[in-house]
Amino acid sequence: MKLTIENQLVGLTELRAAWRQPVKVSLGDDARRRIAESNELIANVVAAGDEVYGVNTGFGQLANVRIDDDELAHLQENLVRSHAVGVGEDLDDDIVRLVMLMKVIALAEGFSGVRLELVEALCELINHNVYPRIPSQGSVGASGDLAPLAHMAGVLIGVGEAKVQGTIVPAELALREAGIEPIKLAPKEGLALLNGTQVSTALALAAVFRTENVLAAALAAGAMSSDAVKGSDTPFDRRIQTVRGHGGQIAVAGVLRELMRGSEIRASHVACDHVQDPYSIRCQPQVIGACLDVVRHVCSVLETEANAVTDNPLVFAESNAVLSGGNFHAEPVALAADYLALAIAEIGSLSERRIALLIDGNLSGLPPFLVKEGGLNSGFMMAQVTAAALASENKSHAHPASVDSIPTSANQEDHVSMATFAARRLHEMIDNVANIVAIELLAATQGVEFHLPQKSSPILERVIASIREVSPAYGEDRSMSADIARVVGLIDEGVFCAYSESILPSHSV
């Protein structure tokens, strides 16, 4: 993908594409002009000797320390070096790519006072697939993602390490790969690189994109489970959803109706005397619809944040002002991530309940534990236990991170967002849900096939075919771990999004 940063909003579809694959980034003429104008104002401030936070002062509680003009470049370099204290596993390259792209977007708005050559150098790292090695832990989400962004900034000045074609190399070697020299930072540039919410936002964006994948897979699995237990599609009737009015519920019910349309299994029991299905079948529009509404809200928040200017102080060239504020505080991202955590947990919870229904012969009408010769074979007995364990783990992970503020910087930064952790923990939750939904897809496929020669709907038969390509029918006991992993691979690839992409925010924009 080629992306020119100019005046337009960089939307969810472009952000998702940049997450999934390398991107070529360039600056448009208007962006170049804005950058130059804001940089000129910073140069004028320095020349006039005016005191401006982070330009010619110390940082945090040391903001009252004035720095001599001949030490201003040293000040910025020291900031980068001292703040590069991250720990833990490295962020994946796809996350780092999003981080760098959003930093370019923010700097290109022209409110940061940096030089054009700095922004162009960051573009060259992206364009040559050079990814700074950024530890995942060490940020409290205010004043922005200081520690992780310092590791990104360090590579630009030749400090630290980066990944080039999957190999970790010293920063100077990585810069040569990108065809650029180490940058000598000018006034405010270190601060502009370190202040910002780009790491929190990148982690949250990747999480919401992955949540779309598992939500789409859960809809396919839920429709298959409904067919496997001979559930009714009446609860998905458009009229029922319309009188309640929630957009997510209406959309999910529409997808479920389309998924089940033309099922021979459903046609075989339309006139039966069965009255109502368990909630895990009947209330899918209400539960997954509410989760979809959460995803849509979170996408809106994150799209705004991805295009936001979140460093400090901000440079307003038109009004000749440099203003200190708090746009680096990542509370919007933290709250959105915590909200998304609830939806992720609920998608997994409902899926696990359907697995429990499928294996219970008394409720499902299917062979106990979805296997012939039960007793000799245990079938899906332990697969449901695994799903239950993962669903229970997510209950703890869903506890909000944003309420756990802790003061830093000698109490100067006395309230922080914890957005980075709030977003990072979502990925473990999504891993759990992907495994739960994979187990349901396997179980529902097995359940539907017990109805042969009657078939499910044309769409669901395609879903079944994709499952059977990676997992053969379960005839007698075997380890299912590899089967689950292969189906998780299909979920992570977004295979099931094809059946519901019209309702997914980053697909339908």
What are the residue numbers of the active site? Answer: 53
Q: What is the DSSP letter of 413?
A: B
Residue 66 pairs in a beta bridge with 57
Residue recorded with tokens 């992409």 = 501
Angle at 275 between CA 273 and CA 278, to 5 degrees: 135
User: Which candidate, 386, 399, 397, places its Cα nearest to that of 351?
Assistant: 386
**DSSP one-letter string for 77-132:** HHHHHHH---EEEEPPHHHHHHHHHHHHHHHHTS-S---HHHHHHHHHHHHTTEEE
Q: Please say whether the beta carbons of 190 and 153 come within 8 A.
A: yes
User: Which candidate, 454, 74, 498, places its Cα nearest to that of 258?
Assistant: 498
Q: Please say whether the beta carbons of 382 and 369 come within 8 A.
A: no
Q: Which two tokens stand for residue 163?
A: 């990944």
Q: Say how many C-beta atoms besides its own lie within 10 A of residue 335's C-beta.
A: 19
Who contacts 39 (Cβ-Cβ below 8 Å, separation ≥6)?
113, 114, 115, 116, 186
Q: Please say whether the beta carbons of 457 and 402 come within 8 A.
A: no
Alpha carbons 408 and 91: distance in angstroms, whole number: 23
Q: Is 298 exposed, middle or buried (0-12, 13-18, 19+ CB in 10 A)?
A: buried
Alpha carbons 101 and 221: distance in angstroms, whole number: 35
Longest dimension (CA), the chain: 87
**Residue 427, amino acid:** H
CA-based R_g, the chain, Å: 26
**DSSP one-letter string for 170-228:** EHHHHHHHHT-PPP-PPTTHHHHHHSSSHHHHHHHHHHHHHHHHHHHHHHHHHHHHHHH
Who contacts 479 (Cβ-Cβ below 8 Å, separation ≥6)?
none
**Residue 339, amino acid:** Y
